[in-house]
Chain A
Amino acid sequence: MTKKINERIPADSGNGAGFTQYNAVQSPWNKLMSYQDALHYASRFEAVLSAAVAQVYRIIIPDYATRASEMCKEAYGRLLYTGLNYPNDDGFGIHPFMCGSYPGALIGDKGDDALLMCGRCNDFGTYRCEKELDVCDWDICCSELCRATTMSLQGQADATETRHRKGHKLDYMMVEARGCGDRHCRIIAESREKYPAPAHELWESFGPAVSDEYKKYTEEEDCVSESMMFREECNYHFVNGTNNETDSSNQMINLSTAASLYLLPAIDNAVRLGYTTEQQADWILKCVLEAAGKAMFGERYAIRACREWLGVPNSIGEDGRLLGGVMEMLMQSLLCKYEIEAFNENEVIYVIDRGGLAITGCQSLPKAHLYMWMGMVKTLVNAQWSVSEEDSPKGKMRVKIAKKIDKFM
């Protein structure tokens, strides 16, 4: 036993009711959820949605190697393009003397924190970088995603390299992955000049690492469960050795999802490459996401837990406001603007800022959310209720929750 003092999260917890400095999200029945919980909730929901989208992609391209290969090529190319055309060295603390592709690890480090994927950087150097994650909400999606995220990092790193004087190129690999059942995600980036190894295809991004003997393995007792911005003296900030501080409001705005960053773009790419048609892809997406939504509240205890979580009074029975509460919590967590057009026992109507749900600019993500909600209402409320998009103004998504009879539903 030691007298180590862990700070409270947030630091002023217990100093009085409410949060004076930090936002909370609020259910329609005034249940407050802390900023931190809100972000975790949103991250988890988006991971579940992404896991369902991953199944869509698996249906469209059944062969693992082909699927992973296409996904990696798409992710690498897109992030390379983004890095080349929208550079932001200052935002990641990448300094002019950081030549070569190793500072790409700074982009990964900061991105992990924004996505609540907590862990630690074990090594950061010109020829070798190592990052170890204890938590990754995306670990339920698919191992192809683990490969593609690594290659997107490679794309960012390769783009970074072009902005500086010539340096050493690093090969980024995910040698352990929680999505594959490992205890940690472990990214190791190595310079092939110092650690020679044969070249590999983009999708073969799981290693092995040549410098495996330098690996630092963190025992269970030292693992963390919160992102740096929520931890101890780093409260509400992300910092590392070379980055400028970034406060957590920035993370919340920029919360990205596996679906928006990787899976939906991979499906779009599969359509472009002729693996399926746009109509067929959309049909599969609707079927799978509706099923995933229904599965969320298939068990009665899930409904009870959800009601408690939202602070729903006993006087509220089975009606569309239940789903409305869930949607409002999510949209507040994502800082997505919405207006309430109706909220009563007969109908609930939201006019949602489509751009707020098009996370990281992914235009098909609002539609994916709609499909999930279509399924969720059937089990959270009951099968008489439906979710539909009707009469949406430009740039908005008008979502109606109401009873509906449809013989072809």
Chain B
Amino acid sequence: MYKNTFKDDEWKRSEHMAVRENVGYYLFTHQLMEVSGPDAQRFLDWICPNNIASLKVGRDRYTTILNDEGTIIDDVVVMRMEEEKFWVSTLYATNLDDWIYFHSDDFDIDFTEITEDWHMFSIQGPNSKAVMNKLVEGGVEDLRFFANTSAVMDGIDVILNRGGFTGEKFGYEVYCTPDDADAVQDLIDAAVKELGGKEVTEFQVFAWTLPTEAGFYYMRDLNGINPLEAGLDKNINWDKDFIGKEALLRIKEEGPEREIVGFEICDENEDYYIRSRQYGGPGEPVFIEGEEEEVGRVAKLVYSYVKNVNNGYILAKKDRLHIGDHITIHGTKCVITEKNWLN
């Protein structure tokens, strides 16, 4: 009997629950591409399926980026910093840099990776607003979700963004220069701890358990699939042209072949052995209980500290698995669930 690397780990549990019940913060610097110039908006509208034209200065928008086959090659947040200047927050900057280079011939834009110019601290949880109101001159009461603005913290110029990767109603991101990072972290650390919160240090918590509980995707989750399979079609503006649209329209007409569904392991005390795509490889095959046909593969398996269950995603054949279905994965009994454990 081996211990469960999530369930039995009180360190991870305490960091996870700090975000859910109080406030937690962590360094979460993504890779950043800056795209600017007269055609910046038109270019981003061409490479992103979501509507960038309607994005106002100071607002952000989540979007996938597709290849010509309609397959997701990246999912990013586009932030409109100025009328002709955008930040694209990604974790595939090397690929995105090439992608922009090879698709920008007909556009008057400049682009550069600015990752090394910025650090970003994420402050998440119900009390994050109180922390930010204490730290930011003028407070953050007027800052809307997915909005960014310049601000000052104890005399230090920062950029604030309201958003996050935890599913929390209140979450903020503080961008600062590397030179200011120590001072900014000291300010955040003191304010968070004053409210009984803590620093989240575990990668598995801020990249896996918190986002998964909210139904979010992280990198490999989307590898090789299209937005219709991922359930991200609401982020597509079908009224414009974009790379991958033709293929995606065909997939839409024929219907996607796969979908991502949620699942839980039934017995929380079971010593399971289930490989998932989050560590690489194709993931464990999934079978409907009593049947022999493979209906999907395990895309992710982590733990919901809110519901106290091992939870994850399955990349399944379309319409083969429904909520409540009992399935078997490498001999372990599991059940299909909603892909969100915060409801």
Contact = CB atoms under 8 A, between A and B. Distances in A.
Contact of A241 (B26, B29, B219): B219
11 contacts: A2-B293, A90-B94, A96-B29, A96-B119, A97-B29, A97-B120, A99-B27, A109-B280, A123-B5, A233-B224, A244-B92
Contacts, number: 114
A interface, over-half SS: loop
Given A120-B275, A241-B219, A244-B92, A3 B292 contact: yes
B87 interface: no
A216 B119 contact: no
**10 nearest CB pairs, A to B:** A240-B280, A96-B29, A121-B279, A125-B204, A241-B278, A90-B94, A233-B282, A232-B282, A241-B220, A126-B203
Interface string A248-278: 0000000000000000000000000000000
A2 B31 contact: no
A96 B30 contact: yes
B101 interface: no
Given A97-B27, A120-B281, A126 B93 contact: no
B28 A97 contact: yes
A125 B94 contact: no
B75 to A, nearest CB: 14
Contact of B280 (A97, A99, A121, A216): A121
Nearest to B91: A95
A214 B3 contact: yes
A218 B272 CA distance: 11
A217 B1 CA distance: 10
A239 B94 contact: no
B280 A228 contact: yes
Contacts of B181: 165
A184 interface: no
B95 A244 contact: yes
Interface in A99-157: 99, 102, 109, 120-128
A245 B94 CA distance: 11
A234 interface: yes
Given A213-B2, A232-B281, A241-B220, 5 more contacts: A2-B293, A96-B31, A123-B5, A213-B3, A241-B278
A384 interface: no
A294 interface: no
A8 interface: no
A316 interface: no
A17 interface: no
How large, as a class, is the contact surface on chain A?
35 or more
Contact of B292 (A1, A109, A165): A1
Contacts of B281: 120, 228, 231-232, 234
A242 B201 CA distance: 17
A91 to B, nearest CB: 8
B238 interface: no
Contacts of A231: 281-282
A239 B282 CA distance: 10
Contacts of A244: 92, 94-95
A215 interface: yes
A87 to B, nearest CB: 12
A200 interface: no
Given A90-B94, A231-B281, A239 B220 contact: yes
A168 B280 contact: no
Interface string B78-93: 0000000000000111
B203 A102 contact: yes
Contacts of A222: 273, 275, 330
Given A96-B31, A216-B273, A234 B279 contact: no
A6 to B, nearest CB: 10
A396 B275 CA distance: 47
B202 interface: yes
A98 interface: yes
A102 B202 CA distance: 11
A115 to B, nearest CB: 15
A4 interface: yes
Given A2-B285, A99-B27, A120 B223 contact: no
Contacts of B95: 244
A216 B5 CA distance: 10
A281 to B, nearest CB: 40
Contacts of B8: 214
A304 to B, nearest CB: 38
A203 to B, nearest CB: 29
A243 B279 CA distance: 10
Interface in B262-278: 273, 275, 277-278
B115 interface: yes
